[in-house]
Amino acid sequence: MTNKDVKLTDGIRNEAVFNQVFSNEEIAKTFFEKFLKLKFLDFKLVNQKNEPGKLATLVFPGVRFEATLDDKKKSKAAFGICLTCEKEKTIAMRLRYMDELICLGAVNKSCDPSDFPLNYLVAVSPNALYGGERRLYSFIFRDKYEPEITYDDGLYQFYLSAKGKKVEQDLNPEVEAFLDYINGDINPKSEFVKQVDLAVANLSKS
């Protein structure tokens, strides 16, 4: 299944609808708070249309945000989220592209690497990934010969599979409910799902 197969009638399963819904800062902020267990001092949508050069003419893979974390360092962070029906390798390229856009934005603001934000990138798939065994896949870089050594570049990448089997992973119940919602199961007890579903319904009326 490719993105071309998805119809607007697919609701949140349509990439354009997903991007519109997650352009709502409150919805996106709630998602990242629940999923990553983070707190924010500020959280704002990146205005991608105003970015300079040829990048402004490209189709952007998802939605991006800038934030300040509510931690001791008041760390700067960037967030990206996209919906994709593509295969794992293509998903990886989409997140790589999103990461490069974030890095370009950081370079345009400062040449000091210490000012670069932490990057949290999430790809949501309505399909099963890597054989369909899990719902959450989390990727970090490790040394080939000493895996206990990690490459601490501040980049964190996650795949969420709506079709994955429910196994014991540290997923917030609201995130689980959201993945169920992508599968067509609306949990009336999930406040986040109700918020997303209302946003989808409002889009269908416009």
For 121-143, how does the pLDDT look when each residue is reduced to its tens digit (9 = 90+)?
Answer: 999 999 889 887 889 998 888 88
Give percent above pLDDT 70 in the chain: 84
Which residues are within 8 A (CB) of 45 and not within 5 positions of it... i.e. 6 or more apart?
Answer: 23, 25, 28, 63, 64, 65
pLDDT of amino acid 3: 42
Domain limits for position 26: 3-205
CA distance 28 to 186: 19
pLDDT of amino acid 98: 86
CA distance 155 to 117: 9
pLDDT of amino acid 196: 95
Model pLDDT for residues 95-123, shown as the tens digit of each residue: 888 888 888 777 777 656 666 788 999 99
Out of 53-57, 76-80, 137-141, 169-173, the most confident range is: 76-80
Cα angle at 92 between 100 and 21, to 5 degrees?
A: 80
pTM for this predicted structure: 0.85
Which residues are within 8 A (CB) of 72 and not within 5 positions of it... i.e. 6 or more apart?
Answer: none
The DSSP bridge partners found for residue 123 are: 82, 159
Whether residue 54 is predicted with pLDDT greater than 70 in this model: the reply is no
Query: What values do phi and psi take at 152, rounded to 5?
Result: -85, 75
CA distance 139 to 181: 24
| 1 pLDDT tier (thresholds 50, 70, 90) | very low
Which residues are within 8 A (CB) of 31 and not within 5 positions of it... i.e. 6 or more apart?
Answer: 22, 81, 175, 178, 192
Helices and strands (H and E) in the chain: how many: 5, 6
Across the chain, mean pLDDT equals: 83
Model pLDDT for residues 177-201, shown as the tens digit of each residue: 999 999 888 877 899 999 999 999 8
Number of domains in the chain: 1
